[in-house]
């Protein structure tokens, strides 16, 4: 059996410009690969361009001119990764050696964690657990997406890591959809890169860089106050009467919460969430609790999601994505959130299989707490992944930890990013359609 040596491609017009747009295109000759590289434009706010050719006669209008033979794609991706990494090394030149940045990117059927470290001893791809790409088919996952071989993802990041001086870890937390696993990896890398450049991180440590970028002395906070985002929802049925008023920006003081849903557990959850999100919230419900907790739990969550979605508007110019950890007692929970307008909740909270075999958490049935979470996410038009890192001694610890993580993630997702100048953080250019 004879093997053909892959050609040496010409890689030109390579640029990675911090907070700027490149005037050159992304044109690798593999359409889906172009789309993935473009995530750096939208999510790292790095202007990327790269053109791949074999000769001056190449048809640049053919988006998949180098898709066949597919066996050559890994060589192409390796060269592109190496060239892009060299350009990225210039952007991170001032980043301190040893600096680390972590980001998880939530898609409705995929969650990938990326950890970047500025290495002293040269870059490398230290962890890569993305395959199999989805469960269709169950044993192997997808071998190609569009005309792109999924085998090229690893050599692309491996060569990018070496030439950039970054150690890169890409870990699939969960994911049944191969397209979304790959997309989540590129977006997680892009967001981790942006945070590394900014000196911010998704840890709970509110550093000086976090304060300068997102805190109350930042331009982000000032721009949010100018928007004065808020909303009012009044929802009345034969089962419940609910009044909710939300103010996202410019809140101050400890008396900014009036939460009275009729359920103490729900009160605790909503108050903890609002406190960590740094919003002003009034939520009052008179419900038919003499029947059970179903209508009150569901309707309050629906109203909260609706008022949040109303206050966020088109979401243009917002940071949009974040992940945050919350703890209470022994419980530690991470929430990864995207204000995506594509509602989906994926969670591994140990609610149905709690060790105590409990049916209620406080005065709220466990199944209605789970349902309230889903109603909040669906009506808030967000994608949310909840990962329970450690279960609490009791379910109330898990409830509070979840609320804290949810609120912290929401605060940073809803923050205005002035560098976006009112434009949507999406390669589509909009979240409205």
Q: Where are the domains of the chain?
A: 10-198, 219-420
Q: What kind and span of H or E run contains 421?
A: none
Using the predicted structure, report yes or no on whether residue 374 has a pLDDT greater than 70: yes
Integer Cα distance of 302 and 282 in angstroms: 15
CA dihedral for 318, 321, 327, 331, sign (positive or negative): positive
Q: Give the residue from 269, 290, 281, 272 showing the smallest Cα distance to 372.
A: 269
Cβ partners under 8 Å of residue 357, min gap 6:
none
Using the predicted structure, report yes or no on whether residue 351 has a pLDDT greater than 90: no
Q: How confident is the model at residue 158 (pLDDT cuts 50, 70, 90)?
A: very high
Q: Which pTM was predicted?
A: 0.95
Integer Cα distance of 116 and 27 in angstroms: 26
Q: Give the residue from 340, 344, 370 showing the smallest Cα distance to 358.
A: 370
Question: Is 263 within 8 Å of 294 (Cβ atoms)?
Answer: no
What is the number of alpha carbons within 13 Å of residue 165 lying toward its C-beta? 18
Q: How confident is the model at residue 327 (pLDDT cuts 50, 70, 90)?
A: very high
Q: How confident is the model at residue 1 (pLDDT cuts 50, 70, 90)?
A: very low
Integer Cα distance of 129 and 13 in angstroms: 31
Using the predicted structure, report yes or no on whether residue 118 has a pLDDT greater than 90: yes
Question: Is 431 within 8 Å of 340 (Cβ atoms)?
Answer: yes
Q: Which of 206-210, 246-250, 264-268 has the highest mean pLDDT?
A: 264-268
Q: How confident is the model at residue 427 (pLDDT cuts 50, 70, 90)?
A: low
Integer Cα distance of 254 and 241 in angstroms: 26
Is residue 8 helix, strand or coil?
Answer: coil
Using the predicted structure, report yes or no on whether residue 358 has a pLDDT greater than 90: no
Report the CATH number of the 10-198 domain.
Answer: 3.30.230.40
Residue % of the chain over a pLDDT of 90: 86
Q: How confident is the model at residue 428 (pLDDT cuts 50, 70, 90)?
A: low
Over range 2-28, report the average pLDDT. Answer: 91
Using the predicted structure, report yes or no on whether residue 254 has a pLDDT greater than 60: no
Higher pLDDT, 108 or 44: 44
Integer Cα distance of 412 and 389 in angstroms: 21
Task: Let me know if the fold of 10-198 is the same as that of 219-420.
Answer: yes
What CATH superfamily classification does 219-420 receive?
Answer: Imidazole glycerol phosphate dehydratase; domain 1 (3.30.230.40)
How is residue 119 written in tokens? 């290495």
Q: Give the residue from 112, 95, 92, 96 showing the smallest Cα distance to 104.
A: 112
Integer Cα distance of 390 and 53 in angstroms: 50
pLDDT in tens, 286-324: 999 999 999 999 999 999 999 999 999 999 999 999 999
């Amino acid at each position: 059996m004879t093997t053909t040596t892959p050609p040496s491609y010409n890689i030109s017009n390579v640029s990675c410009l911090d907070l700027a747009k490149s005037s050159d295109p992304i044109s690798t000759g593999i359409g889906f690969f172009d789309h993935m590289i473009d995530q750096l434009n939208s999510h790292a706010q790095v202007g990327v361009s790269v053109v791949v050719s074999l000769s001056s006669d190449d048809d640049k209008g053919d988006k998949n001119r180098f898709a066949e033979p597919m066996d050559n794609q890994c060589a192409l991706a390796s060269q592109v990764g190496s060239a892009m990494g060299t350009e990225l090394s210039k952007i991170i030149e001032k980043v301190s050696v040893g600096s680390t940045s972590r980001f998880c990117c939530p898609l409705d059927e995929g969650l990938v964690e990326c950890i970047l470290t500025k290495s002293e001893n040269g870059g490398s791809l230290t962890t890569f657990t993305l395959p199999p790409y989805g469960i269709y088919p169950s044993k192997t996952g997808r071998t190609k997406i569009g005309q792109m071989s999924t085998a090229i993802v690893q050599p692309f990041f491996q060569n990018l890591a070496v030439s950039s001086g970054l150690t890169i870890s890409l870990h699939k937390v969960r994911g049944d959809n191969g397209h979304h696993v790959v997309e989540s990896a590129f977006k997680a890398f892009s967001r981790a890169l942006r945070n590394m450049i900014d000196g911010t991180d998704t840890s709970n440590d509110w550093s000086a860089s976090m304060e300068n970028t997102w805190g109350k002395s930042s331009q982000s906070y000032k721009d949010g106050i100018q928007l004065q985002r808020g909303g009012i929802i009044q929802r009345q049925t034969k089962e419940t009467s609910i009044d909710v008023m939300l103010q996202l920006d410019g809140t101050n003081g400890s008396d900014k919460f009036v939460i009275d849903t009729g359920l103490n557990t729900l009160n605790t959850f909503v108050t903890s969430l609002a406190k960590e999100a740094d919003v002003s919230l009034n939520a009052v419900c008179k419900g038919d609790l003499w029947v059970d907790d179903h209508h009150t739990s569901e309707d309050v969550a629906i109203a909260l999601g609706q008022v949040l979605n109303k206050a966020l508007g088109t979401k243009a110019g917002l940071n949009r994505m974040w992940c945050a950890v919350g703890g209470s007692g022994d419980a530690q929970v991470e929430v990864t959130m995207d204000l995506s307008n594509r509602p989906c909740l994926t969670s591994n909270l140990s609610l149905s299989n709690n060790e105590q075999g409990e049916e209620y958490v406080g005065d709220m049935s466990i199944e209605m707490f789970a349902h309230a979470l889903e109603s909040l996410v669906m009506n808030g038009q967000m994608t949310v992944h909840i990962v329970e890192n450690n279960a609490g001694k009791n379910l109330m610890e898990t409830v509070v930890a979840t609320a804290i993580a949810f609120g912290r993630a929401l605060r940073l997702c809803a923050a205005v990013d002035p560098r976006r100048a009112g434009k949507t953080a999406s390669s589509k250019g909009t979240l409205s359609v």
